[in-house]
Amino acid sequence: MPTAAVPSALSLDEQSFADRMIASYAGTPGALLSVLERVQEHHPHKFLSPEILEYVGEHMDIPLSQIYAVVTFYALFNLEPQGEHTICICRGTACHTRGSRKLLQRLRLELGLPDESEAGADKLCVTTPDGRFSLRTVACFGQCALAPVAEVDHAIFGHVNEQALRREVESLNGRKS
């Protein structure tokens, strides 16, 4: 007797893509990390919804608790929709002593994001209400000689100052994704 299709919040494209990734990494050490990373990158808002996490868990035969343990442990995974552009500020010791906190405060002000009293500066991931920008912090990029360091849409900027960062944001504001 055929089973009725179960309604899903996932699109057929999301399911099909997840199925392809699960199949392509089957039997590979670290398959879960690779599948989750590819699925997140495929999503237009670069995040993992509860529905996709359940789907991956069911199809890889991995308990949902283990899936959540992985996605909450690794900082590269997002459980909330991300902006069109991502700006990441290093908060490591070298960057902190060379002004990364000031860069972060200035950028929050310019993007209209909550101040530090509302959200901590050491571990931050917030998105502007219009969905244009996500601002994140990272413990260390490993580029200490270039401190302070910022990453804008995967491009690393060393010895960055407020004016250079403002120019990058203005450049991104001038073009649509």
- Please write the tens of the pLDDT for every residue from 29-63: 989 999 999 999 999 999 999 999 999 999 999 99
Q: What pLDDT is recorded for position 108?
A: 92
d(CA 174, CA 172): 5
Q: Which of 6-15, 51-60, 95-104 has the lowest mean pLDDT?
A: 6-15
User: Residues 92, 141: contact at Cβ < 8 Å?
Assistant: yes
Q: What pLDDT is recorded for position 75?
A: 79
**Backbone angle region of 61, left / alpha / beta, with phi > 0 → left and psi within -120 to 50 → alpha:** left
Which tokens belong to 152? Answer: 């804008």
Which residues are registered as beta bridge partners of 156?
151
Among the listed residues 44, 126, 39, 129, the one whose alpha carbon sits nearest the alpha carbon of residue 88: 126
Residues 125-147 have pLDDT tens digits of 899 999 999 999 988 889 999 99
Q: Which residue has the higher pLDDT, 6 or 168?
A: 168
- Segment 138-164 mean pLDDT: 93
- Residue 18 CA, chain-centre distance (Å), reads 18
Question: Which pLDDT band holds residue 4 (cuts at 50, 70, 90)?
Answer: very low
In this structure, which amino acid lies at residue 33? L
Residues 58-92 have pLDDT tens digits of 999 999 999 999 999 987 899 999 999 999 999 99
Q: What pLDDT is recorded for position 68?
A: 96
Q: Can the peptide bond before residue 148 be classed as cis, meaning omega within 30 degrees of 0?
A: yes
